Amino acid sequence: MDVLMKLDRVTKTYHMGEVTVNALRETSLDVFQGEILVILGPSGSGKSTLLNIMGGMDLPTTGEMFFLGENLSRAGDKRLTGYRRNEIGFVFQFYNLIPDLTGRENVDLAADLVDEPLKVQEVLAEVGLAERMEHFPSQMSGGEQQRVSIARAAVKNPRLLLCDEPTGALDYQTGKLILALLVKINRERGSTVVIVTHNTPIGDMAHRVVRMRDGTIVEIRENAAPLPPERIEW
Amino acid sequence: MSALNNKLWRTIIKTKGQFIAVVAVVAMGIAVYIGMTTAYQNLNTSKEKFYRDRNFADYYFHVVKAPQQVTKQIATIPGVAGVTGRIQKDVALINDFNQRATARLTSYTLPVKYEINSLQLLTGRFFAAEGVAAQPGEQTRTGDIEVLVDPQYAEGNRLDYGDTVSIVAEGRVVPLTVVGTATGPEFIYLMKDAGTLLPDPTTFGIIMLSRERAQEILNLKGQINQVLVTLVPGADAKRVADQVEEVLEPYGNLAGYPRKQQLSNAMLEAELDGLRASSRYMPAIFLGIAAAIQFVILSRMVRAQRLQIGIMKALGYRSRQVILHYTGYAVLVALCGAILGTLLGLVLSSFMSQAYALYFNLPASIGAVNTQAIIYGFVLSIGISSLAGLTACRSVVKINPAESMHPELPKGGAKTMVEGWSWLWRRLDTAWKMSIRSAARNRGRFGITLVGIVFAVGMLVVSLFTLDAVDYMINKHFYQNQRYDYLVRFTAPVKESELLNIERIEGVQKAEPLLEVPVRINYNGKSEDDAVTGLNPGTSLKKLADPRERPLEVPGEGLLISQRTANKLGAGVGDMVEVETLLGIGPSRLSTIKIVGISNQLVGGGCFVSLQQANVLLQERQLVSGVMLKVAPALSAGLEAELEEMTAVSSVLSRQKELDNFNKNLEASIYSISILVLFALLLGFAIVYNSSVISFAERQRELASLRVLGFSIQEVSGILLKENLLQSVLGVVLGLPFGYLMVKGYIGALSTDLYSLPVIIYPTTYVYAALGSFFFIIVAHLFAVRGIKQLQLVEVLKNKD
Ligand SMILES: Nc1ncnc2c1ncn2[C@@H]1O[C@H](COP(=O)(O)OP(=O)(O)OP(=O)(O)O)[C@@H](O)[C@H]1O
Ligand SMILES: [Mg+2]
């Protein structure tokens, strides 16, 4: 399988006055094209930090990050913006939609950024929001907001979809629907999907599961037969 | 320091940009208030003290000539408190610069302190009543006529003790010896007449001398030509005046007017009125806007710190304590603003006092510090800020500690009015939609900011307007209406044929005669003094216009009445008025004449008839009192020299010199205009900055998620700018016409009998005002979104608030 992203001995250190926090220590990881990767670990283990670096939202303190062979670990703001714009779709735990835009307009906003976006209507229909797309975020449930957020990430047809606790704020049923959506996008569009969670069973739907502890990867496990999300229990 | 005080302090540090901005606005308001109020108080107090000390007249009467004993008779009229008879006459003055100037000879009886409109000696000593005998050690010659001159004239002509000035009186050149400078309550603002644009001490001055010497020089032994009267308090001025005029009737009444119409007093009062108007409305704008900004800052703070307030309440703080804590922010703003503003205000008032000292001859020092204004400034500033603070924080009461712990419902998201216009809405890009909805959501803040911008833009228009009005006046007066290069006036009317002497002077390209006759116009039981100028129909050196600025021709028959007099009399075109001549020579003549038009001169006013008709009014033939000249520029110096030699010439008005004088005075106003423009820009900056900072702070999370989506810094900043522009463009669009209204209001507050600035605003001024506005808008925006580069995506997005 082709390597989409290569992380090579990445560290991230925060200085808070006297205290130094090693959020990531010499972490190396290859992400393959078209896979679903789930990153598991307890709170504070560095999952979000790793994901943010992968998404070009943050730079590693040391170590290298390659995306399709291009070294981005020292890239400037301009390059990183372009990288996020064209290659990355982000889904957050708390949706982070623009409150002043309707569901459809939130997706439009992302579609306007790229040269060849998917059809906004279609993507919204795919996530099951065709009916409610003219509503504002304040008029939607959490699950609906998260679907808009996924549509917003997917409409750019990004190579890499990064999801930080996408089900964290949702109930069990809704969470499963959201995960199913991610699998569908992975299968139909071929996007690589990375999901961060502290919810171990979710690992069962992944092609590979990465376990983190204390800022570093302690285990990478391949899943011969990933389960469809509907069959996962937690 | 308690924990709450610590918190207040940290809040100020965190919002220091906004804190400084609003302090600056308060400071400007207080500075303007203290500066203008102090200047007003100082000017007014020294005026009143001067009037009181020097016994300023309540009523003036001009006669052709009357025996000086007539004052005894006037003194017996009930209601009259004091009477002074004197001689006052304009004579030609010959000075070293070879330029004809006018001196107003004014007589006094020693000791002056018993006189009405008495003198205040500034330098030197009083003149002697009689011809002076040589004193040992002094270089005085027997027979010297000693005089005092006004200080501006002395300075303008570099006159010192013992210098000689020469006047032309009764056809003779008379040398006068200057023994000092003095001023009087009627000489505070020195202008020759209402037709003059500005004081010009090089061409007009006051010469004060003893009554005996004045009578001698002017061949008026035992005579006076002016009577000044003070009234007992509560006297009916009009009735007393009628009685005085009755007494003076046999001696040829020329004019009678109350203090209100005395030129110097009227100019001073006009300035005071303007100052008082500005000292009220300018601070009101600044402080009002400062209050609005504080309201916005604090409302937002209370909303953003809802959770903290809930916690404080849960801990047991009372609502009142919390409210006081937040209002403390406003009080601190007010205190800092008031302190800074007071310092600035003192500087401003000293600048203004210096400027006034330049224009007004007021002997008492006018640099006093106005403690009352300072105290009021503090009270005003703290009062307004506290009010804004308390209003903004009143929602604190409603915050329930338990509820505040729950996350607030996601705000926003509502259709706006604009969405009804789907043809427009469909054309807007997503960023505009965001901006419009966010504006609609924050309607209160949007509205307050909008009003603030409207005021700032309006102030810009008002500040720049002065330049337009002045430019317009110069253009109108010097280039369109007044086409002559010189206006030569004679000491007494001469036969038209004598103009040949002037026409033959080398360089004269065109000469047109005029006859100026002071008159009283009676209509419908009312009467008004004015001047009638006779001009040849078809004159090319003087252009007349009606109130709507349409050109008027000099009529063969009938009167073009001045707009001011027409208004006062309630007379209009077609009415017959009675015209009574008030020329100092010969008896006064009465005639009835029809109004055929209304004339409106920017400067001076006055009525117009044909030259022939003017002669008819005087029952004379072919008399002229002056001549307008068009002169080849290269030969003007020679012409001036020749006119200098002519004793029959009383004054020579040179357009070039008037223009120079005008431009010199304009330089002083440029200074104050720049200050006003600066204040307006700062005001606008503070408003826009504040609203941008708040909107940036509130939307950090939103902006961060846009950055994650792949928006560049410029694009995100562009979204904020769009929102900013939405209110700013609206503010500018509304602010420009609002500025026009402000100008109108301002002119309305200023307009006097003497002059009125036209409400003229050039299109370029609107353009400049708009450019200035966009300048402060963009600068404020850039300042406010400086933090956008440092926006920590990870940080901002990590927590749900
Ligand atoms: N800006 C920061 N400054 C200082 N320390 C930080 C910062 N961001 C993260 N950390 C620290 O880095 C470590 C890793 O944080 P990270 O957010 O990656 O954990 P996580 O695995 O995502 O945890 P959770 O499951 O709770 O989200 C933590 O100890 C955290 O305190
Ligand atoms: Mg995390």
Question: What is the C-alpha radius of gyration for chain A, rounded to an integer number of angstroms?
Answer: 17
pLDDT band at A214 (very low <50, low <70, confident <90, very high): very high
Nearest CA to ligand 1 atom 7: A14
Take residue A185 and report the two structure tokens written for it: 């996008």
What DSSP designation does B109 have? Answer: P
Counting atoms of ligand 1 from 1, which one is nearest the CA of A15? Answer: 4
Which class for B509: exposed (0-12), middle (13-18), buried (19 or more C-beta within 10 A)?
Answer: exposed
Rounded to whole angstroms, the Cα distance separating A52 from A90 reads 10
Q: Which residue of A has its CA nearest to B709?
A: A85
Q: Above 50 in pLDDT, residue B1? A: no
Q: A11 has which bridge partners?
A: A62
Minimum distance, in Å, between the CA of residue B337 and any CA atom of chain A: 36
CATH number of the domain that residue A107 is part of? 3.40.50.300
Q: What are the C-alpha distances in Å from B468 to residues B741, B757, B762?
A: 15, 10, 6
Rounded to whole angstroms, the Cα distance separating A147 from A134 reads 14
Rounded to whole angstroms, the Cα distance separating B117 from B128 reads 19
Nearest CA to ligand 1 atom 28: A44
Q: Which residue of A has its CA nearest to B409?
A: A138
Rounded to whole angstroms, the Cα distance separating B567 from B432 reads 55
Higher pLDDT, B139 or B643: B643
| B675-681 LR contacts (CB < 8 Å, sep 24+) | B676/B459, B676/B462, B676/B463, B677/B460, B677/B463, B677/B464, B677/B772, B679/B28, B679/B32, B679/B286, B679/B459, B680/B456, B680/B457, B680/B459, B680/B460, B680/B463, B680/B772, B681/B456, B681/B460, B681/B772, B681/B775, B681/B776
Asked whether residue A2 is domain-assigned, the answer is: no
Query: What residues make up the domain containing A181?
Result: 32-60+76-231
What residues in A contact B695, CB-CB < 8 Å? none
What residues in B contact A57, CB-CB < 8 Å? 708, 793-794
For the stretch A85-103, pLDDT in tens is 899 999 988 888 888 888 9
Take residue B626 and report the two structure tokens written for it: 């002056």
Asked whether residue A190 is domain-assigned, the answer is: yes
pLDDT at A224: 87
pLDDT at B271: 84
pTM for the whole thing? 0.79
For the stretch A138-168, pLDDT in tens is 888 888 999 999 999 999 999 999 999 898 8
Q: What are the C-alpha distances in Å from B102 to residues A90, B138, B203, B454?
A: 87, 29, 6, 49
Contact A43 CB / ligand 1 (< 6 Å): yes
* Tally of domains in chain A: 1
User: DSSP string spanning B445-492?
Assistant: HHHHHHHHHHHHHHHHHHHHHHHHHHHHHHIIIIIIIB--SEEEEEEE
**Are the C-beta atoms of B713 and B789 separated by less than 8 Å?**
yes
Peptide bond into B111 cis (omega under 30): yes
In the sheet with A192-197, reading across from the earlier edge strand, the strands are: A88-91, A160-164, A192-197, A36-40, A208-213, A216-222
**Are the C-beta atoms of B441 and A100 separated by less than 8 Å?**
yes
Minimum distance, in Å, between the CA of residue B13 and any CA atom of chain A: 20
Asked whether residue A182 is domain-assigned, the answer is: yes
Counting atoms of ligand 1 from 1, which one is nearest the CA of A46? Answer: 18
How many other C-beta atoms lie within 10 A of the C-beta of residue B88? 18
SS3 content of chain A, % helix, strand, coil (to 5): 35, 30, 35
Nearest CA to ligand 1 atom 2: A14
Asked whether residue A166 is domain-assigned, the answer is: yes
Choose, out of A21, A80, A100, A120, the residue to mutate when testing the contact with B (most B CBs < 10 Å): A100
* Ligand 1 mutation target, pool A15, A16, A21, A52, most atoms within 8 A of CB: A21
B712 and A CB contact within 8 Å:
yes
> Is the CB of B708 less than 8 angstroms away from the CB of A57?
yes
B420 and A CB contact within 8 Å:
no
For the stretch A64-86, pLDDT in tens is 999 999 999 999 888 988 999 89
Enumerate residues 6+ apart whose C-beta is below 8 A from A57: A80, A84, A90, B708, B793, B794
For the stretch B617-637, pLDDT in tens is 888 888 899 999 999 888 888
pLDDT at B137: 47
Q: Above 70 in pLDDT, residue B21? A: yes
pLDDT at B98: 56
CA B306 to ligand 1 center in whole angstroms = 26
Q: Which of B411, B430, B710 sits opposite A81 (nearest CB)?
A: B710
Higher pLDDT, B235 or B400: B235
How many other C-beta atoms lie within 10 A of the C-beta of residue B212? 16
Q: Which residue of A has its CA nearest to B442?
A: A100
> Is the CB of A78 less than 8 angstroms away from the CB of B712?
yes
Take residue B227 and report the two structure tokens written for it: 């009577």
Across A16-30, A48-62, B293-307, least confident range: B293-307
What residues in B contact A77, CB-CB < 8 Å? 713, 789
**Are the C-beta atoms of A29 and A51 separated by less than 8 Å?**
no
φ, ψ (nearest 5 deg) of residue A133: -70, -15
Rounded to whole angstroms, the Cα distance separating A85 from B711 reads 7
What is the helix (H) or strand (E) element at residue B354, kind and residue range? helix B319-359
Contact A211 CB / ligand 1 (< 6 Å): no
Q: A27 has which bridge partners?
A: A10
Share of chain B above pLDDT 70, in %: 92
CA A23 to ligand 1 center in whole angstroms = 6
Asked whether residue A19 is domain-assigned, the answer is: no
Q: B9 has which bridge partners?
A: none
Q: Which of B410, B414, B712 sits opposite A81 (nearest CB)?
A: B712
Question: What is the C-alpha radius of gyration for chain B, rounded to an integer number of angstroms?
Answer: 34
For the stretch B120-177, pLDDT in tens is 888 888 887 665 544 544 444 446 789 999 988 888 888 888 888 888 888 788 889 9
Which class for A171: exposed (0-12), middle (13-18), buried (19 or more C-beta within 10 A)?
Answer: exposed
HSE-up of residue B129 (Cα within 13 Å, Cβ side):
7
In the sheet with A70-71, reading across from the earlier edge strand, the strands are: A19-32, A3-16, A62-67, A70-71
**Are the C-beta atoms of B453 and B285 separated by less than 8 Å?**
no
B64: nearest Cα among B231, B246, B227, B191: B227
pLDDT at B145: 86
Asked whether residue A27 is domain-assigned, the answer is: no
B129: nearest Cα among B116, B143, B110, B156: B110
State CA A37 to chain mean position distance.
10
Asked whether residue A93 is domain-assigned, the answer is: yes
| Helix (H/G/I), strand (E/B), else coil: A17 | coil
What is the helix (H) or strand (E) element at residue B283, kind and residue range? helix B263-304
CA A12 to ligand 1 center in whole angstroms = 10
Instruction: Please give the average per-residue pLDDT across B433-445, as a whole number.
Output: 83
Q: Above 50 in pLDDT, residue B801? A: no
pLDDT at B667: 76
Take residue B231 and report the two structure tokens written for it: 């009234």
Minimum distance, in Å, between the CA of residue A83 and any CA atom of chain B: 7
What residues in B contact A137, CB-CB < 8 Å? 410, 412-413
> Is the CB of B798 less than 8 angstroms away from the CB of A139?
no
For the stretch B745-790, pLDDT in tens is 887 776 665 566 677 888 888 999 999 999 999 999 888 888 887 7
Take residue B493 and report the two structure tokens written for it: 């009317």
Q: Which residue of B has its CA nearest to A112?
A: B430
Q: Which of B413, B710, B713 sits opposite A113 (nearest CB)?
A: B710
* Ligand 1 mutation target, pool A16, A40, A45, A52, most atoms within 8 A of CB: A45
Q: In sequence order, which ranges of B751-788 are alpha helices (DSSP H)?
A: 763-784
User: In chain B, positions 433-452, which contact chain A (CB-CB < 8 Å)?
Assistant: 433-434, 437-438, 441
Take residue B477 and report the two structure tokens written for it: 């007066």
B701 and A CB contact within 8 Å:
yes
Q: Which of B410, B709, B794 sits opposite A99 (nearest CB)?
A: B410
Minimum distance, in Å, between the CA of residue A119 and any CA atom of chain B: 16
> Is the CB of B710 less than 8 angstroms away from the CB of A84?
yes
> Is the CB of A98 less than 8 angstroms away from the CB of B705?
yes
User: Which amino acid belongs to residue B595?
Assistant: I
Take residue B37 and report the two structure tokens written for it: 């109020």
